[in-house]
Amino acid sequence: MRPSPVAEITASVILRLLQTAARVGAEPADILMRAHVPYSMADLEGMTDRAGGMDTLPRHHGIAIYRESIVTIGWHSSRLDHKPQMHPDEFRLMCYCVISCRSFRDVIERQAMFFRTRGDRISVIELTEAGPLAIVTVDTLRRRKSFSAFLTDLAGMSIFTRFYAWLLGIAPQEFHVQLMHSSAFANEAMADFFAGDLVFDGPVNNISFSQSLLAMPIVRTPEELDNLLLEFPFEYIAAPPVGMPLRDRIRSIYNMSLARFAPFPTTTELSNLVGQSISTIRRRLAEDGSSIRTLKDIARHDAAIYLLRDGRRTIDDIALSIGFRDIHSFRQAFLRWKGMTPSHYRDIIQQSHANGGETRD
């Protein structure tokens, strides 16, 4: 979810995207004009014919074309269903509505509330829990299963899963998508809109994941969201999801362990989980200015803050559940993190809630 170091994108990818948009009735020339890029379809076709389609466009031009293509495809789908379309600014507003949430469960509940407040009902989002799984249904209220509706839902579910993963600092592969559309719609264009675990022919669009993720804390800040939204979600075609940085992968493993009230994996287990030797892990983390000890400390800090805010567990229980030997060790660590004891921090949170306020780290 970080900006890609790649500064350019191949013309063949852009041309394929525009050809896909044309299949739903869009005019590629109009898309290029609204994207404010200095290319025509003839230009792109000529670039694709040369060097096996490896001629490139600047990254910002590719993102602009992708943005206008997504918006145009969504408009055609909404017109066929006689329903409103979500504007990119509304999506940004939804992101800002959830960034202050404490846990992933809160994110889903606030997201559902956001869509309920729209009188014109763009979508209906609901959370259900079934054994070890949690399922977020995303009913886009489409009743005509057209190719444009398929592409719009495909892009929308990709955006949701990538945003969820970013909020939690985990890999998008933790989320599994089922579409209400038939696999007959699937073709080579899918790669331009989605990467991940996808199945078809569901009763409604849905995203399933481990129920334990619901308790995970949100690890991003409003400042990080500002930076993300400079390009997200339209950076996708210029930077399809790839493996997470090693630091983020390990941090997500530690977050998951704490969310399940399980001990951190041993170094041998960690090596197996990430597929690298422990010496390589330590070297790569050091190159990134981090370490296993630091990542464990960050994970404990985030879990402690969430559990203290939640208020349902005693401080002794919190200390033991996040891996401290005793309350004294936890107190010393918390003094280092926040400059106050856990009980003092909880008192501040409770007082803030009593006054109707919201304290944020």
Closest CA to 18 of 83, 87, 69: 69
Residue 72 token pair? 């145009």
Closest CA to 18 of 243, 273, 192, 272: 192
Bigger pLDDT: 337 or 79? 337
Per-residue pLDDT reduced to its tens digit, 147-204: 888 888 888 888 899 899 989 888 787 898 888 888 777 665 566 677 667 788 888 8
Can you tell me the distance from the alpha carbon of 349 to that of 358, in angstroms, rounded to the nearest whole number? 8
What is the reported pLDDT for 208? Answer: 93
Q: What is the pLDDT of residue 6?
A: 47
Shared domain check, 147 and 37: yes
Asked whether residue 1 carries a pLDDT value surpassing 60, the answer given is no
Q: What is the CATH number of the domain that holds 348?
A: 1.10.10.60
Question: Tokens 């501040």 — which residue?
Answer: 348
Q: What is the pLDDT of residues 63-73, one digit of tens each?
A: 888 888 888 88
The letter for the amino acid at 199 is V
Per the CB < 8 A criterion, the answer to whether 6 and 54 are in contact is no
Omega within 30 of 0 (cis) for the link into 233: yes
Whether residue 218 sits in one domain with residue 256: no
Question: Looking at the predicted structure, is the pLDDT value of residue 144 above 60?
Answer: yes
Domain boundary among 199, 228, 257: 228
Same domain, 128 and 158: yes
Same-domain status, 204 and 272: no
What are the start-end ranges of the H helices in 169-241?
A: 222-228
Domain boundary among 160, 194, 228: 228
Q: What is the mean pLDDT of residues 296-302?
A: 91
Highest mean pLDDT pick, 219-233, 245-259, 275-289, 324-338: 324-338
Please indicate, yes or no, whether residues 61 and 12 belong to a single structural domain of this protein: yes
| Number of domains the chain contains | 2
What is the three-class DSSP state of 133? Answer: strand
68-86 mean pLDDT:
77
Q: Do the domain assignments include residue 233?
A: no
At residue 241, the pLDDT reads 45
Beta-sheet pairing, 206-210 with 133-139: antiparallel
Q: Are residues 97 and 22 in the same domain?
A: yes
Which of the four pLDDT bands, split at 50, 70 and 90, describes residue 31?
A: very high
Residue 138 phi, psi (nearest 5): -125, 90
CA 196 – CA 69 distance, rounded (Å): 21
- In the structure encoding, which two tokens stand for residue 240, read together? 């399809």
Q: Which residues pair with 128 in a beta bridge?
A: 135
The answer to whether position 1 is within a domain reads no
pLDDT, position 7: 54
Indicate whether 116 and 152 sit together in one domain: yes
Q: Are the C-beta atoms of 218 and 107 separated by less than 8 Å? A: yes
What local confidence, expressed as pLDDT, does residue 67 receive? Answer: 86
Out of 24-33, 117-126, 163-172, 215-224, the most confident range is 24-33
120 pLDDT above the threshold of 50: yes
Give the pLDDT band of residue 4 (cuts 50, 70, 90). Answer: very low
**4 or 63, which is more confident:** 63
How much is the mean pLDDT over the chain?
A: 82
pTM: 0.62
What confidence score (pLDDT) does residue 239 get?
Answer: 56
Domain extent, residue 278, equals: 246-354
In a domain, 15, yes or no: yes
Q: For position 243, what pLDDT does the model report? A: 46
Name which of 261, 218, 220, 255 is nearest 102 in CA terms.
218
Helix locations, 82-219, DSSP H:
88-98, 104-116, 147-168
For the record, the structure tokens of 272 come out as 């197996």
Q: Is residue 237 part of a domain?
A: no
Q: How far apart are CA 342 and CA 330, in angstroms?
A: 8
Domain boundary (179, 198, 228) is at 228
pLDDT tens per residue across span 196-237: 677 888 888 999 999 888 988 888 888 899 988 888 877 776
Q: Are residues 250 and 215 in the same domain?
A: no
User: For residue 206, which of 298, 139, 258 has the smallest C-alpha distance?
Assistant: 139
What's the pLDDT at 24?
Answer: 84
Q: Give, in order, the Cα–Cα distances in Å from 7 to each of 56, 57, 95.
A: 9, 9, 26
Is residue 336 pLDDT above 90, yes or no?
Answer: yes
At 5, is the pLDDT very low, low, confident or very high (cuts 50, 70, 90)? Answer: very low
How far is the C-alpha of 69 from the C-alpha of 84, rounded, in Å? 17
- What is the rounded CA–CA span in Å between residue 43 and residue 231? 25
Fill in the DSSP letter of residue 186. -
